[in-house]
Chains A and B, each alone.
Chain A
Amino acid sequence: MRLSRVLGLGSWVLGLLLAATPTQGQSKPTNYKGLEITVAGVERAETVGLRDCPPGSNTVRGLTKPGEEFAIVNLSFKVTPAFKETIVKKPVLLDAGGKTFNTAMSFVDPGSVPQYSCGFAYRVPTGTKLGKIQIDTTTIDLTSFNK
């Protein structure tokens, strides 16, 4: 890698960091069997790229019907040395009333890279208030991400 590129991009990143504050509502890290999980945000969309976690470059997209939207919960993961699992259950979304929604996305080789971010998409009725996201026995509150 050329030194100029490192210096150029590095200083740009440094600039970004100096001005940055954590995303409003970004959750504190939750530990699931050595996998450190942070909610980075929630988006709503009519269409979503169908990618597993950690994400690859799958080209297929899912589409919603009228009256639906995808609630995309963006999660950041950090793999700590304590993490030993090879198969991690899919996260389940619960709305504010406790109704559950499943995602098409799965964890595939969740320990293969040290850190990554994934957007788990849930097909929900438009405007659904989110309650929490659950990965196996671990639950993370999402209520602060409702606008």
Chain B
Amino acid sequence: MEIDRRAFIASLGGTAAVAMMDSEAKADSLEHYMEEQLDEQVAANQAREKFPTVAEIEAQIETRNYRRGAGSLFVSGRGNVKKLTPMPKNATLKDFFELRFAPANHVLQSATRALKTGMTEEVILACLLHDVVLNLIKVDHGWWGAQLFEPYIPEKSTFAIKYHQALRFFPDSDAGYEYPDQYLRIFGHDYTPPPHIQSTYKMVRNHKWYMEPRLVTVNDLYAFDPNAKVSLDPFTDIIGRHFKQPKEGLGNDNTASSHMWRTLSNPDAPL
């Protein structure tokens, strides 16, 4: 690999900073720098890949034995599905994170970023919850997710979860949201959002709470780090303050979404 020595030295803070490092630190720094450069090159090559068209993606439908919109609890990417640990009687949100949503790495990374960049607790909570419904269903996951959590969380968080789905397709540089390359891969490079997504975007763009779902999309982009170490622990207090945990347990509390929690509890029920 070719190393740009000026860039390398600059990355260490300049010649003066390098002069203060011992040999081992220099060697470590060089190795780390080379790893980063390699990652960059691999990523750049990926970015130059030929992205599929919508038609090419549609042509793959009959090559699968499942629908793309099926929730991940219902489909195994590798071999047969595994038997699930039964949920406790009075299941809490934490129980669902541990037993049904795990590892939940993406949403935990997203919420961690929101927490560390000083966002509001409503936005942090929305980031934490915005994609967990993908375990149940992927199609229209913003609306399904909002419905799942609506009885339990602040209205702003529900709004953010519901509408992040539509805002994802519309970049907003001022707010710090870039259109991600992965959507070209998932939806096709010639994809146009359907009319209901476009009209939803127009409505939300002019809404006083626009920034709530927008910040969910902003944090969404930065939550695909395979090396990130995250945990639910930093969010215990926020969940305690904003999530109305039913004493009967989620699924047993007769709300408009209790059936969805029961489905997540027991996705092996035949009917």
Contacts and interface: CB of A to CB of B under 8 A. Distances in A.
B13 A47 contact: no
Nearest to B12: A115
Interface in A1-48: 1, 5-10, 12-14, 16-17, 19-23, 26, 29, 36, 38, 40-41, 47
A118 to B, nearest CB: 10
A74 interface: yes
Contacts, number: 157
A74 to B, nearest CB: 7
Contacts of A49: 39-40, 43
Contacts of A73: none
Contacts of A74: 7, 10
B176 interface: yes
Interface in B221-268: 221-228
Interface in B1-44: 3, 5-15, 17-19, 23-24, 26-27, 29-31, 36, 39-40, 43-44
A102 B173 contact: yes
A9 B30 contact: yes
Interface string A52-95: 10011111111100000000001011100000001100100000
Interface centre among B9, B29, B226, B227 (most CB of A within 10 A): B9
Contacts of A59: 43, 224-226
Contacts of A26: 10, 14
A106 interface: yes
Interface in A99-137: 101-109, 115, 117, 122-123
A50 interface: yes
Interface stretch (B130-138, B148-156, B178-186): B178-186
Nearest to B51: A63
20 contacts: A1-B27, A10-B24, A10-B26, A13-B18, A22-B6, A26-B14, A41-B10, A47-B47, A47-B181, A49-B39, A49-B40, A52-B113, A56-B225, A58-B222, A59-B224, A59-B225, A59-B226, A106-B113, A109-B116, A117-B10
Interface of B: 3, 5-15, 17-19, 23-24, 26-27, 29-31, 36, 39-40, 43-44, 46-47, 113, 116-118, 173-182, 184, 218, 221-228
Interface of A: 1, 5-10, 12-14, 16-17, 19-23, 26, 29, 36, 38, 40-41, 47, 49-52, 55-63, 74, 76-78, 86-87, 90, 101-109, 115, 117, 122-123
